[in-house]
């Protein structure tokens, strides 16, 4: 007489298939470091354009600075230079925006500081995003830039 049930081998095969299927789903849902760096670049392009607009509207230069944990934007004050009739930038100065963390901890930028002028035409600027050391390769670095007139964008 035969029992109506599953054998141990049949149960193990089913569990193995479920484990393989769930691991494929988990792997497909993970974001690659390149995708995270692309999202970071889009976020920075928007932030730098907003910062440039704020600097022009308030007629006050702004400082963007980063470290291994994230970045912030800060207002710079102009103080008279005693040696000339010109003004000089003082840093750090006024209000600071909330500190924004990198999407992928350990991301870096070169340079780590950019002064965004209040002038309508600025000098050309470039910013390179570097993934964390565990994901670093020369091909995964992204370069953002502006020629000083055109908006910030991802450069080839």
| Averaged confidence pLDDT in the chain | 81
Q: Where are the alpha helices (DSSP H) in 69-132?
A: none
Distance CA 119, CA 55 (A): 8
- Domain membership of residue 13 (yes or no) is no
- Domain membership of residue 134 (yes or no) is yes
Give the number of domains in the chain.
1
Whether residue 1 is predicted with pLDDT greater than 60 in this model: the reply is no
- Domain membership of residue 17 (yes or no) is no
Please report, for residues 4, 32, 58, 64, 97, the alpha-carbon distance to residue 92 in angstroms, rounded to integers and kept in the order given. Answer: 78, 36, 17, 11, 12
pTM: 0.68
- Domain membership of residue 68 (yes or no) is yes
- Domain membership of residue 122 (yes or no) is yes
Whether residue 126 is predicted with pLDDT greater than 90 in this model: the reply is yes
Per-residue model confidence as pLDDT tens digits over 2-57: 677 778 898 899 999 999 999 888 877 766 667 888 888 899 999 999 989 988 88
- Domain membership of residue 11 (yes or no) is no
- Domain membership of residue 25 (yes or no) is no
């Amino acid at each position: 007489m035969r029992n109506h049930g599953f054998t141990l081998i049949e149960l193990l095969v089913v569990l193995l298939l479920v484990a393989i299927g769930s691991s494929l789903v988990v792997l497909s849902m993970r974001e690659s470091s390149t995708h995270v760096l692309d999202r970071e670049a889009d976020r920075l392009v928007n932030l730098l354009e907003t910062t440039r607009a704020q600097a022009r509207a308030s007629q006050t230069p702004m400082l963007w600075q980063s470290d291994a944990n994230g970045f912030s934007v800060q207002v710079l004050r102009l103080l008279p230079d005693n040696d000339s009739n010109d003004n000089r930038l003082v840093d750090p100065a006024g209000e600071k925006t909330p500190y924004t963390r990198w999407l992928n901890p350990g991301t870096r930028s070169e340079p780590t500081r950019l002064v965004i002028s209040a002038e309508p035409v600025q000098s050309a600027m470039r910013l390179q995003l570097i993934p964390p050391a565990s994901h670093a390769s020369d091909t995964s670095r992204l370069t953002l830039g502006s020629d000083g007139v055109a908006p910030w964008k991802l450069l080839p």
